[in-house]
Amino acid sequence: MLSRQVAEALRKRETPYYFYDIDLLRQTLESVVSVARKYGFVIHYAIKANYDPHILEVIKEYGLGIDCASGGEMRCAIEAGFDPQGIVYAGVGKRDKEIRYAIEQGIFAINCESIQELGVVDAIAGELGKVQNIALRINPDIDPKTNKCIDTGQADSKFGISYEEVTEKLDFIRSLKHVKVSGIHLHIGSQIRELHVFEYLCAKVNSIVGHLTSLGLDFDFVDVGGGLGVNYDFPENEPVPNFASVFAIINSHLKVDGRPVHFEFGRAIVAQCGELITSVLFNKTTATGRKIVVVDASMTELIRPALYGSYHNIENITSQAKERERYTIVGTACESTDVFDEGITLPRTQRGDLLTIKSAGAYGMSMASRYNLHDLPGAVYSDEL
Ligand SMILES: *Cc1c(COP(=O)(O)O)cnc(C)c1O
């Protein structure tokens, strides 16, 4: 995270841009890889969290596989040098050309989200004269106790196939000649901070695995998805997520008869290493007395607050003022929800000060847009300063 020296070095760059602490990224990767090794767990990085080429290069060094949500993401991973044999591909709406690309590249598994999709994958694999490994993405019907905008595994969700439908259609699934069910996949949502949710997940997986096995469906691996949350409130207290606790829970609760267990972490790997650096443009006070600070970033660089009401800790990294004031920090976009935070206390903040919006390494740059014809933000890396 940002030291004073780094803040000084950042002074001269044109804002807004993302700053990435590559040492912190490496510590995080070291942690996830070393604890996973202890249990033989396989880790895929959910590339949609951040596609930055330098970040991908570092992640690749640690031997992670990739979890993709589109053909574009698969291509990005493959062009960045990740082995297709370590790629899983989920998504409720896969286009035919994306399925074809996945099969041609020989990826590890297509995580199928409907019975109809299985038929389409079978047909395309047939045309290509191949048999494609797939995982059934089963909707676990679990409340992950997270923001409802980012939960994906409740019964009524658009993601996955209901377990009832899987069991009803087993004969159809078995009749497909060009798909092989190699795994079972579940993903319950994102930013999960209550670790006992992972115990419910294990119980659910155990019953699904046990039941499918008793029905004679054979498969090789279980993929329990991602979703491990990070500490947005106090990032300095928990720069590296507690992988050890989650893995210990999964290891002691999951019963999968020795099958390899796969994870797909996005946020937990990259959120804390990224910060959005922005300059203060203007100060003003509303008729109601609210003190507004207008910064040169907006929802076009970081949409999470506007899209989900997410909280990011904000700090003024250049003000030397002793007095503190309450401010609402707003962006430049023409949208009323383009507010980074309301009523936060900062040292007196004025035009030209640099603010950092922390924990922005995941779903920040990857969700950036060119709304209002803003330029896309650049990136500065701690190891290139
Ligand atoms: C987005 C996603 C992930 C990663 O979620 P995080 O909360 O960033 O860990 C993993 N698996 C699937 C299927 C996803 O859609």
Q: Whose CA is nearest to atom 1 of ligand 1?
A: 46
Mean pLDDT of all residues in 363-378 = 97
Q: Give 227 Cα–ligand 1 centroid separation in angstroms.
A: 6
In this prediction, residue 33 has a pLDDT band, given cuts at 50, 70 and 90, of very high
Q: Give 110 Cα–ligand 1 centroid separation in angstroms.
A: 15
**Ligand 1 atom nearest residue 90's Cα:** 13
Indicate if the pLDDT at residue 52 is higher than 70.
yes
In this prediction, residue 265 has a pLDDT band, given cuts at 50, 70 and 90, of very high
How high is the pLDDT of residue 154? 77
Q: Give 175 Cα–ligand 1 centroid separation in angstroms.
A: 30
How high is the pLDDT of residue 300? 98
In this prediction, residue 140 has a pLDDT band, given cuts at 50, 70 and 90, of confident
DSSP state of 332: S
Q: Is 246 in the pocket of ligand 1 (CB under 6 A)?
A: no
Q: Is 264 in the pocket of ligand 1 (CB under 6 A)?
A: yes
Q: Is 187 in the pocket of ligand 1 (CB under 6 A)?
A: yes
At 275, which helix (H) or strand (E)? strand 274-285
In this prediction, residue 157 has a pLDDT band, given cuts at 50, 70 and 90, of confident
In this prediction, residue 148 has a pLDDT band, given cuts at 50, 70 and 90, of confident
How high is the pLDDT of residue 1? 62
Q: What CA–CA distance (Å, rounded) separates 211 from 163?
A: 10
Mean pLDDT of all residues in 285-295 = 97
Q: Give 363 Cα–ligand 1 centroid separation in angstroms.
A: 11
Mean pLDDT of all residues in 77-106 = 98
Calculate the alpha carbon distances from 54 to 268, 327, 376, 383 in Å.
Answer: 18, 35, 17, 10
How high is the pLDDT of residue 11? 80
Q: Give 2 Cα–ligand 1 centroid separation in angstroms.
A: 27
Q: Give 68 Cα–ligand 1 centroid separation in angstroms.
A: 9
**Ligand 1 atom nearest residue 46's Cα:** 4
Q: Probe ligand 1: pick from 67, 89, 150, 188, max atoms within 8 Å of CB?
A: 67
**Ligand 1 atom nearest residue 137's Cα:** 13
In this prediction, residue 236 has a pLDDT band, given cuts at 50, 70 and 90, of very high
In this prediction, residue 69 has a pLDDT band, given cuts at 50, 70 and 90, of very high
Q: Is 189 in the pocket of ligand 1 (CB under 6 A)?
A: no
Mean pLDDT of all residues in 129-133 = 98
Mean pLDDT of all residues in 344-366 = 98
Residue listed under structure tokens 């319950």:
188
Q: Give 228 Cα–ligand 1 centroid separation in angstroms.
A: 9
Least confident of 114-128, 155-169, 296-310: 155-169
In this prediction, residue 76 has a pLDDT band, given cuts at 50, 70 and 90, of very high
Least confident of 59-73, 81-95, 193-207: 193-207
- SS3 per residue for 12-66: CCCCCEEEECHHHHHHHHHHHHHHHHHHCCEEEEEHHHCCCHHHHHHHHHCCCEE
**Ligand 1 atom nearest residue 227's Cα:** 7
In this prediction, residue 385 has a pLDDT band, given cuts at 50, 70 and 90, of confident
Q: Give 69 Cα–ligand 1 centroid separation in angstroms.
A: 9
pLDDT averaged over every residue in the chain: 95
Residue 152, amino acid: T
**Ligand 1 atom nearest residue 363's Cα:** 8
- The rounded percent of the chain whose pLDDT value lies above 70 is 98
Indicate if the pLDDT at residue 234 is higher than 80.
yes
Q: Return all residues near 200 (Cβ < 8 A) that are at least 6 apart.
A: 142
Mean pLDDT of all residues in 333-346 = 97
Q: Specify the higher pLDDT residue, 119 or 4.
A: 119
How high is the pLDDT of residue 9? 77
For the entire predicted model, the pTM comes to 0.96
Q: Is 137 in the pocket of ligand 1 (CB under 6 A)?
A: no
